[in-house]
Amino acid sequence: MTTTDTTGRMTRSGNAVLGAVRRATSQVPALGLVALLAIMWMVASFTVPNFASAGNVGNILQQSSDLVVAATGVMFVLLAGGIDLSIGSVYGIGSVVLSGLVLGGVEVFLAILIAVTVAGVAGFVNGVLTHYGRIPSFIMTLGMYYVLFAVAQILSNGQTLNLPPGTVLQTLARGNVAGLPITVIVAVFAAVVAWLLLNRTVFGRRLVSVGLNPEASRLSGIPVGPVIVGAFVLSSLFAGIASVILTARVQSGTPALGGLDSNFEVITAAVVGGTSLFGGRGTVLGVVVGALIIRTIGNCITLLDISPLLYQAVMGSLILIALIVEAIRTRQEVS
């Protein structure tokens, strides 16, 4: 064996080890969040009445399911360096379309498919106009929020569309498989799909690259436009799935199902979960834990009968803390 062959093999082996180390260390912040969540649950078990009951834990998991799905979706846009403020109205339009179709006699699974497709179209428009139209994502998606809300209001005549009892949607909201709520299973499946897209596809690698440096990515031959459009489509598709979960839970469709509060919660869950608002950094595990942390805080506030205004204050504080931590980490990397 020649020296060149030996050196080449050593180099490839070294690169493989470095790659494994990078993948392992990238999960450290997420694992820290898992530890934080475990501590929160232990403390709450001793200080919050009825928190540790099986019914309440199941309630937290079910209430987290739509937030997990939507936050996992918005993670793609944040990784690309953008932001999606249309999520709240994607909830609303998905809810109204789904409920209207079911009330009109359309088969439930087809109605779900159409509702999620409508959500995906909204994301496609967001992505195209953001990248090719050169409209900042903040302005574009905020405008889309109000457009979708108006369309949902028109489609529903401003009314709540109550679903008939006994549909598949009721089963989705209340059913269990092997002791696990169906909505939780859907959330886990969505998180697994997101993880595979991010870590096992060319799209995922390109997405992170674009988020870190779009110009360098473009010069290296990465099709930046399709990547950004794809990120917005995924965000809206996941939000559409989340709207189906929430519609099934409340058994009605309404344009105000999400609202600006959902925008705030979804983005907070992603950011608290370690996804950078500056692009290029984030993990699915972190986002899932971030969503559970938010729902745990909300659950404790409810059980302690504290003013819900505190919830908004806590969410705002979490955003600020996450931004400060991200700014410090970025400054350290630059220096």
Secondary structure (H, E, C), 260-306? HHHHHHHHHHHHHCCCCCCCCCCCHHHHHHHHHHHHHHHHHHHHCCC
- 186-190, 236-240, 311-315: which has the minimum mean pLDDT? 311-315
Q: Which CATH architecture has domain 51-334?
A: Orthogonal Bundle (1.10)
- Tell me the percentage of the chain whose pLDDT exceeds 70: 89
Whole-number average pLDDT of the chain = 87
* Alpha-carbon span 31 to 33, nearest angstrom: 5
* Alpha-carbon span 84 to 72, nearest angstrom: 12
- For residues 84, 173, 41, 188, the Cα torsion angle rounded to the nearest 10 degrees is -60
- 3-12, 90-99, 157-166: which has the minimum mean pLDDT? 3-12
Which pLDDT value is given to residue 335? Answer: 60
- For residues 297, 300, 302, 304, the Cα torsion angle rounded to the nearest 10 degrees is -140
Of 143 and 7, the one with more pLDDT? 143
Mode of pairing for the β-strands spanning 252-253 and 161-162: antiparallel
Contacts of 18 (CB under 8 A, 6+ apart): none
Contacts of 53 (CB under 8 A, 6+ apart): none
Is the pLDDT at 87 greater than 80? The verdict is yes
Tens digit of pLDDT for each residue in 114-167?
A: 999 999 999 999 999 999 999 999 999 999 999 999 999 999 998 999 998 888
Which pLDDT value is given to residue 2? Answer: 52
Mark out the alpha helices in the chain (DSSP H runs).
3-26, 28-47, 54-79, 87-103, 108-131, 137-156, 168-174, 182-199, 202-212, 214-219, 224-250, 259-272, 284-303, 309-334
Contacts of 2 (CB under 8 A, 6+ apart): none
Which pLDDT value is given to residue 114? Answer: 97
Tens digit of pLDDT for each residue in 225-245?
A: 999 999 999 999 999 999 999
